[in-house]
Homo-oligomer: A and B are copies of this chain.
Amino acid sequence: MEGSAPRRTRIQQEKRELILEAALEVFSANGFRGSTIDQIAEAAGMSKPNLLYYFRRKEDIHETLMQRLLDTWLAPLRELDDIGDPMTELRSYIRRKLEMARDFPRESRLFANEILQGAPRIMPMLEGELKTLVDEKAAVIKGWMRAGKIARTDPWHLIFAIWATTQHYADFDVQVRAVLGADRGGDGRFEDAARFLEQLFLDGLKPKG
């Protein structure tokens, strides 16, 4: 665990934010090893040694970024609640995840990059915190199934499918836009996606008489 939180001046707080913002841009576009400190420093409008004054190692930036990411990234799933109508809960979960793909594509790509490379830096978190959370929510979904509120299926793979389909619009954005073309690949694509996903998941999950 960490010691007491380091005391920070106003400038330190501001500059650290600036660096993290720049690093998110660079890391999400080039991956960890594909990014250089110089790139991040330039994107943050400062010199390399200056940047290294705020973060002593390249890895520290990545680590800080990743820690922050995970909290916000799993927030939608955390909100999936036992109380409330199952269909409504699932619909808003899907919608929230898709909104995150639309509004925070860099965060999504940063995460995808990390997982693609074998999740070397967040493996413990995947097997710990994440697994616990998913198991917990899978139990909630199982409860809904037992109660006949939604069709029976595998809750874990259902969650994977929601992750995959929504994050696809952030991670594979260039491909999506290329395939849809100029006319359909514009801003409306997220609304089309929302409509499609809602139909796919909710019709597919509707209880059978």
Chain A residues with a Cβ under 8 A of chain B: 29-34, 109, 112-113, 115-119, 123, 126-127, 130-131, 134, 151, 153-154, 156-158, 160-161, 163-165, 167-169, 171-172, 174-176, 178-181, 184, 192-193, 195-197, 199-201, 203-204
Contacts and interface: CB of A to CB of B under 8 A. Distances in A.
Contacts of A195: 154
Contact of A178 (B130, B193, B197): B130
B178 A160 contact: no
A117, A151, A164, A197: residue with the most chain B Cβ atoms closer than 10 Å: A164
Given A31-B34, A34-B34, A203-B203, 20 more contacts: A33-B34, A112-B112, A112-B171, A119-B175, A123-B174, A126-B178, A130-B178, A151-B199, A153-B200, A156-B180, A157-B192, A157-B193, A157-B197, A158-B196, A160-B165, A161-B165, A161-B197, A161-B200, A164-B165, A200-B204
Nearest to A126: B178
B29 A31 contact: no
A152 B134 CA distance: 32
A134, A174, A197, A201: residue with the most chain B Cβ atoms closer than 10 Å: A174
Contact of A204 (B116, B167, B192, B201): B201
A117 B29 contact: yes
A11 to B, nearest CB: 33
Contact of A175 (B34, B126, B161): B126
B196 A118 contact: no
Contacts of A199: 151, 153, 204
Contacts of A131: 178-179, 181
Contacts of A156: 179-180, 184
Contacts of A33: 30-31, 33-34
Contacts of A167: 164
| In the complex, the 4 A-B pairs of residues with the closest C-beta atoms, listed nearest first | A204-B204, A33-B34, A164-B168, A126-B178
A197 B30 CA distance: 32
Nearest to A112: B116
